[in-house]
Each structure stands twice: as C-alpha cells, then as structure tokens.
C-alpha cells in the first residue's frame, strides 16, 4: 500500500522482492504471454548472432594443455605496440566523453584515402556502421538483398529492423553470384549487401564482375561493400577496391578488427557520399567509438610496419595451410582473407572434426549458422598456432 493505493508487482514473473514464491503457474503463464505481446514478431523469431567459443570457455570445459584460437578471424599476431601505448595514454581522459565526431580520426582517414572528412564515418566496428545504415535508410515496405552464406551480422541487423531480407545462393565455387543478385532487384529493394572478401568463405568477386553488376543497380539502391578483410586482399590483381570507384550509391565498410588487431576495442569506419554520411551521423550514437578505441586506431594507422607483418603472416600461413590440407586430401576453398574454409563430406564429419580439435585445444568455427553445416572455417594463426593445428589434426588420424 503506497499513499492509500494498492500495488501488485511481480519481479520477472517468478519472485517477489523478499524472495518468496510469486504467482501460481497459471498467472506466470499469463504474464509471460503478456510480456511476449510487447515484443514484435520479427524480434521474437530473430536468431541472435552466436560467436565462437572463447578461450576461457574451452579451459573450463576441457582444460587442454595448450590452446590456439583459430575460430573468430582475429589477428593472432596481436596489435601494434604503438596502439597499446596510445590506449594507456588515453586513460588520462576516460572521465570525459569521447570526441563525438571522431574528428581527428576521420581527418586522418580522409587524408589517407584522398577524400573529404565529410565522406567518412566511424562506428563500433564496421558492424556498428552497418547498424546505422539499417536504422537510417529503410522504410517498412522496403527490403534488403544479399547472398546465402555471408556475414551473419547483416542478416541479424536486417531482421531486427523488421525489413524483408532476400538471399541469393552462392555459386558452386562459393562466390557471390552478382548476376543473380542483379536479376533479383525489385522496386522495393533498398539495400544490397556484398562482402568482398566474403566471410566465411574467403572468396571474392572481381573488378569486371563488380563493374558489370553496378551498371545494373538503380541509383536509388544503396550497395554496402563490406571490405572488413580488405588489407589481406588489396594486392590481388583483379580485386575491386571499391574506394577507387567513388560511386554515389556505394558505401564502403572497413574495420580495425582484423589486420590491425583491435577487435576488442570495436572500431570501424565507412566511406560514402557526404549526403549519405551526414544522414548516418544524425542517427549515430553521439559518443562512439570510445576514447581508447579512437586513440588506438590513430596509432595503428601510423604503424604501417605492423600492418605489413600481419598481412605477410596471413599470406605465408595460408599457403602453409593449403599445402598441409592438400597433402591430406582435405577439400578447402581458396581464400583471399585471413581464414580458409574446409569442406567435409557431411555435417556429421564436420561436427566430429570440430569437437575433436576443440578437445585438443584448437578452437575452430563450424558453419551451420551460415548455412554451411558441412564446412569448418580455420583462421590463419601464428606459426606456433599453425603447428598446433597440424599436430592436433594428425593425431586424429584422418
């Protein structure tokens, strides 16, 4: 009783504040039903993104003598020492809000790529910018278009907005079928998502394919070019660096999470026409990325030596993995990213392999969530980690 008014409050439908049992089963079910009515149908049915196992989880479950985390496409070399020092220095400012415009970082990126600051936006990873796009540009009657077996993050974001998402199958060699995607464009299509290189397959589409595709895309359709793995693919002869085109309806997404090794700080960026960027900024949370993330990104950009070592390690490690898998007759898909996708005869074999390697401390990523249940993705690690993978693999006797 408060001010003569009786209140009936149930905490989480099960327990009263003093810990006594709450409503009876019928009332709990009724309240659960009422709670579900608050949630839109597209959220109730949404399947969340599920990351790979962490090192801590593997220690708790199996406690192997050695662990190599080759599941999440992180930079196993770490990050630039300069970036670490920049983070430490930034601690003196963490009582203050971050620069809401990421002004210095945006100016630095603009100089590097020969564009205006107004063409640059930052976010909490490239996925953060992707989230801004889904919140900014879709009307309820519009739809998104992409391929099967691509980055789950975009699928989750589109579904969370409640927009219709249509997907086109990959080609037989696990590449985006740009001809089929172009043919699938309808009047209600608002955004097309392309990952190049693609995650989890590591494949890419060529300059000729992209140029032919773009000619078929109406001006009012926004094309997201997710180039999270750009640094590993940039030297491929026919790779289409989307920044060299400067198309008005293309937004390029890149990240510091991969080659720069700053995944734990969550910072990425996008390039686009200034009108697109100005509208994204209206929707952007005002104080992201964080002060340490901005500081680390600036330092990472200036340490070109670390970036080159990272790329070199991936290129040599990828060839080492190709040679190893080929010698053991394991089917794999050639990649231009920092991982290689293996293809097993069936889902059961892929599941057994992933679990058996996990028990030996090698964390890999099986891909049923991507629609590839018989496939396993292997991140390229340090030479020591690749040796661990090889020895654990051979112990299985495949």
Residue 33, pLDDT score: 64
Dihedral of alpha carbons 149, 154, 157, 162, sign: negative
Rg (CA), the chain: 23
Residue with tokens 């231009």: 336
For the entire predicted model, the pTM comes to 0.88
Q: Is 225 helix (H, G, I), strand (E, B) or coil?
A: strand
Strands 365-367 and 164-168: unpaired
Dihedral of alpha carbons 268, 133, 192, 213, sign: negative
Task: Return d(Cα 250, Cα 219) in angstroms, integer.
Answer: 10
Burial state string for 93-114 with b = 16 or more CB within 10 A and e = fewer than 16: eeeeebbeebeebbebbbeeee
Task: Return d(Cα 88, Cα 83) in angstroms, integer.
Answer: 9
Residue 29, pLDDT score: 61
Q: Considering only CA atoms, which of 130, 133, 126 is closest in space to residue 266?
A: 126
Exposed/middle/buried for residue 335 (C-beta within 10 Å: 0-12, 13-18, 19+): buried
Taking the alpha carbons at both ends of the chain, their separation in whole angstroms is 70
Task: Return d(Cα 159, Cα 46) in angstroms, integer.
Answer: 7
DSSP element (H, E) containing 129: helix 125-137
DSSP element (H, E) containing 329: none
Longest dimension (CA), the chain: 81
379 touches 162 (CB < 8 A): no
Task: Return d(Cα 398, Cα 396) in angstroms, integer.
Answer: 6
Q: Which residues contact 56 (CB under 8 A, 6 or more apart)?
A: none
* CB count in 10 Å sphere of residue 351: 16
* CB count in 10 Å sphere of residue 219: 8
Residue 12, pLDDT score: 46
Residue 50, pLDDT score: 67
All domains of the chain in start order, with CATH? 55-76+305-396 (3.90.1150.10), 81-303 (3.40.640.10)
Chain-centroid distance of CA 28 in Å reads 38
Q: Considering only CA atoms, which of 382, 379, 369, 337 is closest in space to residue 152?
A: 369
Task: Return d(Cα 76, Cα 310) in angstroms, integer.
Answer: 9
Q: How far is CA 307 from CA 179, 231, 299, in A?
A: 34, 8, 11
Exposed/middle/buried for residue 330 (C-beta within 10 Å: 0-12, 13-18, 19+): middle
Each residue's pLDDT expressed in tens, for the chain with a length of 398 residues:
445 444 444 444 444 444 444 556 665 565 666 666 777 777 777 677 667 677 788 778 877 889 999 999 999 999 999 999 999 999 999 999 999 999 999 999 999 999 999 999 999 999 999 999 999 999 989 999 999 999 999 999 998 888 999 999 999 999 999 999 999 999 999 999 999 999 999 999 999 999 999 999 999 999 999 999 999 999 999 999 999 999 999 999 999 999 999 999 999 999 999 999 999 999 998 899 999 999 999 999 999 999 999 999 999 999 999 999 999 999 999 999 999 999 999 999 999 999 999 999 999 999 999 999 999 999 999 999 999 999 999 999 88
Angle 222-226-272 (CA atoms, 0-180°, nearest 5)?
Answer: 50
14 is written with which tokens? 């099960």
């Amino acid at each position: 009783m408060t001010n003569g008014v009786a209140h009936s409050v149930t905490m989480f439908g099960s327990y009263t504040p003093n810990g006594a049992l709450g409503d009876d089963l019928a009332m709990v079910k009724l309240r659960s039903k009422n709670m579900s009515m608050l949630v839109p149908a597209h959220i109730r049915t949404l399947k969340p993104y599920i990351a790979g196992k962490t090192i801590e989880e593997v220690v708790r479950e199996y406690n192997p003598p050695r662990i190599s985390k080759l599941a999440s496409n992180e930079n196993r070399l770490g990050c630039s020492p300069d970036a670490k020092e920049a983070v430490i220095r930034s601690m003196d400012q963490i009582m203050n809000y971050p620069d809401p415009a990421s002004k210095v970082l945006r100016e630095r990126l603009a100089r590097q790529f020969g564009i205006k600051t107004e063409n640059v936006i930052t976010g909490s990873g490239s996925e953060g910018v992707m989230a801004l796009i889904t919140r900014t540009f879709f009307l309820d009657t519009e739809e998104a278009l992409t391929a099967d077996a691509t980055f789950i993050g975009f699928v989750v974001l589109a579904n969370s907005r409640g927009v219709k998402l249509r997907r086109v199958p990959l080609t037989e060699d696990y590449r985006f079928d740009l001809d089929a995607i172009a043919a699938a464009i309808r009047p209600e299509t608002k955004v097309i998502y392309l990952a190049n290189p693609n995650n989890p397959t590591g494949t890419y589409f060529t300059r000729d394919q992209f140029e032919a595709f773009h000619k078929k895309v109406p001006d009012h359709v926004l094309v997201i070019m997710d180039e999270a793995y750009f640094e590993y693919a940039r030297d491929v002869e026919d790779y289409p660096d989307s920044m060299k085109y400067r198309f008005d309806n293309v937004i390029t997404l890149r990240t510091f999470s991969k080659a720069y090794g700053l995944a734990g700080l969550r910072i990425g960026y996008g390039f686009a026409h200034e009108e697109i960027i100005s509208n994204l900024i209206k929707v952007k949370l005002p104080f992201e990325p964080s002060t340490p993330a901005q500081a680390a990104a600036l330092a990472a950009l200036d340490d070109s030596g670390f970036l080159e070592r990272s790329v070199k390690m991936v290129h040599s490690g990828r060839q080492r993995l190709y040679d190893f898998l080929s010698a053991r007759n394991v089917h794999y898909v050639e990649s231009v990213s920092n991982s290689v996708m293996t293809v097993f005869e069936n889902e059961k074999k892929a599941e057994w392999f992933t679990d058996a390697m996990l028990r030996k401390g090698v964390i890999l990523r099986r891909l049923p969530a991507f629609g590839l249940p018989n496939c396993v993705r292997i991140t390229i690690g340090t030479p020591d980690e690749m040796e661990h993978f090889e020895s654990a693999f051979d112990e299985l006797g495949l």
